[in-house]
C-alpha cells in the first residue's frame, strides 16, 4: 500500500473510515465538521443509510480461484481503476487548504473520477489547472439561467466528461446542526464572530486553511455574489438562489447546452428513474443527498434494487449514501449499482490529512474490496450481482428476497455517443 509522503503520522495510523472521521472532528471548526457530518431534521435517513447498508449480508463462497482480483470497471465510457469516485461536496475546499484541488489530485493518482460541486470553494478553472485529466462537474439549477449556461459552457470547455445534475435540492433541507453551529441562520457580525471563535479553537486549521488557504469564497458562483463570499449564511444563499420551479421540461434546456453524458442525481423512486430515461439522461445516481434533505425517506440501499429493476438495462445506475468501507461499496455493487460515489468518506480524509489522507482512504477502500471479493468467490467487479447476496439480517428494512430480481451484471453501462 503506497502512502503519500505528506501524510501526517496520525492519519497514517488510520485503518478505517471511522478513524478519519475522528481526526476530522478534532481538526475542523465545529461549523465545518457539523456541515459534513450532519443530516436534516432528526437525521433518521442519515442513520438508515448506514444501518440498512450494513445489514445487507453477503454470500460467502469458497474454493474459487480468486488469485487475481480485478477492481476496475467501465462507467459511461470511462475506465475506473476502482469502482468508486469522489462525489460532489459543497465547501469541501475549506476542509483543507484549497481542498478540492488536493482531492482532485488524489483521485487522478488513483485512477478514479472526481466530481466538482457547483458550490465548491475552488473554482472549476483552478481545479482544472491543477490536474492533467478533466473531472466531472455537478450542477445545481439557480434562478439566473445565464449563469447556469455559462457554467455549462465552462465545464464543456474544460473537457468535463460527465455532468451530474442534482435535482433533489429545490430548497435546502432543515439542518438543525448547521443552525446550532452558526453556518446558517447567523449572518452579520454576530455570525462571523461565532465562526471565528470556532476557527480559533482549531489553531492548526486556522493557520493552514484560515490564513494560508485564502480566498474563502464559493469560487464558481463568485459572479452571482458580488462583494459577498457566500460564507455569511451559506444555506440562506442556496435558499434564495436555487430554483424550486425546475421540472423535467428543464432537462431539455440542459441538453441544449450540454452535449456530453448526463447523470441525474437524487433519484429514489423508480418512476422518477423512468422519467429520467425519457428525458434523455444517460444515467441516474440513486441518492437521498446523504440524508441531508427530506428526513425519513428510504435509504439508498433500500431504494436501489427497484431503480435497477426499472431502468438498469437502459441507464447507468450509480449510488451514494452510507458508504463507510470497501465492504459497503461491494454491497451496493451487488445490489445493482455500476459504480459508487463517495461523500463523507473522502471529506473526512481530506480534513484529516489533505491529499495524502484521500489517497490513504482510497488505499484502505481498495484493500477492503479485495478481501470482500475474495471471500465472496468473486474475481471481478463485473461478476458481482444479486447472487453475491445472502438474505439480509432480520433487522433490515430491505425487501428480503433480493436474489430473485436480478442476476450478476452482464453488460457495461450504456456508452453515450461522444460530444459533437
372-399: pLDDT as tens digits: 999 999 999 999 999 999 964 444 445 4
Structural domains in the chain (count): 1
Whether 420 maps to a domain, the answer reads: no
For 322, residues 6+ apart whose C-beta sits below 8 A from its C-beta are 48, 49, 50, 51, 52, 53, 54, 299, 300, 301, 328
Q: 406 falls in which pLDDT band (50, 70, 90)?
A: very low
- Quick one: pLDDT at residue 400? 41
- Quick one: pLDDT at residue 395? 40
pLDDT > 80? residue 217: yes
Q: What is the pTM of this model?
A: 0.91
Q: Are strands 78-80 and 73-75 parallel, antiparallel or unpaired?
A: antiparallel
pLDDT > 60? residue 3: no
Cis peptide before 385 (omega within 30 of 0): no
For 126, residues 6+ apart whose C-beta sits below 8 A from its C-beta are 98, 100, 101, 219
Answer with the residue of higher pLDDT: 372 or 185: 372
Q: Sign of torsion, CA 116 117 120 125?
A: positive
What is the CB neighbour count within 10 angstroms for residue 386?
Answer: 20
pLDDT > 80? residue 248: yes
Whether 410 maps to a domain, the answer reads: no
The grid coordinates listed for 336 are 445493482
Whether 234 maps to a domain, the answer reads: no
The chain-wide mean pLDDT, for the chain, equals 90
Whether 14 maps to a domain, the answer reads: no
d(CA 337, CA 287): 12
d(CA 37, CA 60): 32
Which residue segment(s) compose the domain that 39 sits in? Answer: 20-175+240-404
What is the mean pLDDT of the segment spanning 314-329? Answer: 98
Positions marked active-site: 289
Whether 367 maps to a domain, the answer reads: yes
Q: 221 falls in which pLDDT band (50, 70, 90)?
A: confident
Q: Report the CATH number at residue 264.
A: 3.20.20.70
Whether 185 maps to a domain, the answer reads: no
What is the CB neighbour count within 10 angstroms for residue 407?
Answer: 9
Q: 2 falls in which pLDDT band (50, 70, 90)?
A: very low
Whether 129 maps to a domain, the answer reads: yes
Whether 147 maps to a domain, the answer reads: yes
Amino acid at each position: 500500500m503506497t502512502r503519500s509522503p505528506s501524510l501526517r503520522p496520525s492519519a497514517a495510523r488510520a485503518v478505517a473510515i471511522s478513524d478519519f472521521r475522528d481526526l476530522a472532528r478534532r481538526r475542523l471548526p465545529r461549523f465545518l465538521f457539523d456541515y459534513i457530518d450532519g443530516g436534516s431534521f432528526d437525521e433518521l435517513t442519515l442513520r438508515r443509510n448506514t444501518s440498512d447498508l450494513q445489514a445487507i449480508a453477503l454470500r460467502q463462497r469458497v474454493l474459487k480461484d480468486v488469485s487475481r482480483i480485478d477492481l476496475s470497471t467501465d462507467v459511461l465510457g470511462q475506465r475506473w481503476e476502482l469502482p468508486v469516485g469522489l462525489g460532489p461536496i459543497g465547501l469541501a475546499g475549506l476542509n483543507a487548504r484549497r481542498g478540492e484541488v488536493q482531492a482532485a489530485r488524489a483521485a487522478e493518482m488513483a485512477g478514479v473520477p472526481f466530481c466538482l460541486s457547483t458550490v465548491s470553494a475552488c473554482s472549476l478553472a483552478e481545479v482544472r489547472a491543477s490536474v492533467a485529466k478533466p473531472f466531472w462537474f455537478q450542477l445545481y439549477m439557480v434562478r439566473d439561467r445565464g449563469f447556469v449556461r455559462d457554467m455549462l459552457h465552462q465545464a464543456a470547455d474544460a473537457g468535463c466528461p460527465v455532468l451530474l445534475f442534482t435535482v433533489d435540492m429545490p430548497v435546502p433541507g432543515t439542518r438543525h446542526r448547521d443552525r446550532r453551529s452558526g453556518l446558517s441562520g447567523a449572518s452579520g457580525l454576530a455570525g462571523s464572530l461565532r465562526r471565528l471563535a470556532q476557527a480559533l479553537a482549531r489553531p492548526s486549521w486556522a493557520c493552514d486553511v484560515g490564513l494560508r488557504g485564502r480566498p474563502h469564497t464559493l469560487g464558481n458562483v463568485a459572479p452571482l455574489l458580488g462583494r459577498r463570499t457566500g460564507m455569511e449564511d451559506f444555506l440562506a444563499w442556496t435558499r434564495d438562489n436555487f430554483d424550486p420551479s425546475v421540472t423535467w421540461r428543464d432537462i431539455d434546456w440542459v441538453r441544449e447546452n450540454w452535449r456530453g453524458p448526463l447523470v441525474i442525481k437524487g433519484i429514489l423512486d423508480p418512476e422518477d428513474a423512468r422519467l429520467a430515461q425519457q428525458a434523455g439522461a444517460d444515467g441516474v445516481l440513486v441518492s437521498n443527498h446523504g440524508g441531508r434533505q427530506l428526513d425519513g425517506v428510504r435509504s439508498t440501499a433500500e431504494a436501489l434494487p427497484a431503480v435497477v429493476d426499472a431502468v438498469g438495462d437502459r441507464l447507468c445506475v450509480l449510488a451514494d449514501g452510507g458508504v463507510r468501507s470497501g465492504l459497503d461499496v461491494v454491497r451496493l455493487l451487488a445490489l445493482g449499482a455500476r459504480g459508487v460515489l463517495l461523500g463523507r468518506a473522502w471529506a473526512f480524509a481530506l480534513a484529516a490529512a489533505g491529499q495524502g489522507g484521500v489517497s490513504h482512504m482510497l488505499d484502505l477502500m481498495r484493500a477492503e474490496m479485495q478481501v470482500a471479493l475474495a471471500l465472496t468467490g468473486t474475481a471481478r467487479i463485473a461478476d458481482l450481482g444479486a447472487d453475491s447476496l445472502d438474505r439480509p439480517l432480520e433487522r433490515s428494512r430491505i425487501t428480503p428476497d433480493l436474489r430473485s430480481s436480478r442476476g450478476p451484471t452482464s453488460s457495461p453501462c450504456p456508452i453515450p455517443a461522444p460530444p459533437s
